[in-house]
Amino acid sequence: MTDHSIEEAKRQAAIRAVEDHFSPEATYVGIGSGTTIIYVVEAIKERSTNPHIRFVPTGYQSRQVIVRAGLTPIAFDSLPEDTMLDVAFDGADEVDEELNCIKGGGACLFQEKLVAERARKFICVADYRKDQPRLLTNWPTIPIEVAPISIYTVLHSLRLLGSPNPQVRDGLLVKAGPLKTDQDFFIIDAPFPSLLTSSDVASGLGAGDGTDGKWQVETLSKEIKLITGVLEVGLFCGMDGVQAEKARNGGLGTGSGLGGQKPVAVYFGMQDGTVKVRTSTAK
């Protein structure tokens, strides 16, 4: 597969996702980070001339994409407290069959999670390489955002949870030393064996609690989040926006603010130019 056709797959998926989920009457729209989101913003720009829509970025790059497209950004912390976004679009590094996602390949996972949880509908757009039965099949590690001072204790705790060789992400050619996030934190990339879905656990493939070295997505996410020094984990799991709304209407908290972390739909651009749509079964 050439780079060109991967880019075309992302573009086709973005166009379909925007056709299906972007309304020119929207008030607030979340915009994720990465390379695929650029095609989403292009597609939005082609459909909307409404100057009143406010676009909520998930970091520096995302804000630049919004501004360069001539759209109007609004900072997440300027949103009225109980206001939800009509929709949020973002990319993903890997998506499993229950629509749990790994995110944070671009180091923006903290703001991406804030924005996803604030949206009535969180929509992911990706190319076919991201579509896998389980997380950590093709994508090797879980990105975790960590306070710099805590880096060695977090690395140690991750090893105790069974991550064989967690690494602090390097700034590579961009800067000497660790990469810094938009919060001035570090990223640890932690490998684990591929993660069980909840149906794997229900069908007896494992307890999912790490005792046999196998973790279920949500259980591992909670364990990592409990480590002091961890700001956020790049596992987007638990409820989706539709389930979160039901919980809110039933008077239950969602555990994470207003919404859910999981997408209600994922659009995969395929090798043959088609778009595969996977939606949440929990409607």
Ligand X SMILES: O=C(CO)[C@H](O)[C@H](O)COP(=O)(O)O
Among residues 8, 25, 81, 112, the one annotated as catalytic is 112
223 is catalytic: no
> Does 62 engage in binding with ligand X (CB under 6 A)?
no
How far out from the chain centre does Cα 229 lie?
20
Give whichever of 169 and 214 is closer to ligand X, judged by the CB atom: 169
Minimum CB separation of residue 132 from ligand X in Å reads 14
The answer to whether 220 and 235 have CB atoms below 8 angstroms apart is yes
Choose the stretch contacting ligand X; rule: CB under 6 A; options: 99-107, 149-157, 182-190, 256-264. 99-107
Choose the stretch contacting ligand X; rule: CB under 6 A; options: 21-29, 100-108, 171-179, 193-201. 100-108
The DSSP secondary-structure symbol of 67 reads: H
Minimum CB separation of residue 80 from ligand X in Å reads 26
Choose the stretch contacting ligand X; rule: CB under 6 A; options: 13-21, 33-41, 208-216, 250-258. 33-41
> Does 105 engage in binding with ligand X (CB under 6 A)?
yes
Three-state secondary structure along 95-130?
A: ECCCCCEECCCCCCHHHHHHHHHCECCEEEEEEHHH
- Whole-angstrom distance between the N-terminal and C-terminal Cα of the chain? 35
> Does 93 engage in binding with ligand X (CB under 6 A)?
yes
Q: Using the rule CB under 6 A, which residue among 36, 141, 216, 219 binds ligand X?
A: 36
Minimum CB separation of residue 138 from ligand X in Å reads 12
- Helix spans in the chain (H): 3-21, 36-47, 60-68, 109-117, 151-160, 198-202, 217-225, 241-249
Q: How far apart are CA 191 and CA 140, in angstroms?
A: 6
The answer to whether 248 and 234 have CB atoms below 8 angstroms apart is no
Catalytic site positions: 112
Chain residues that interact with ligand X, rule: CB under 6 A: 32-36, 90-93, 103-109, 112
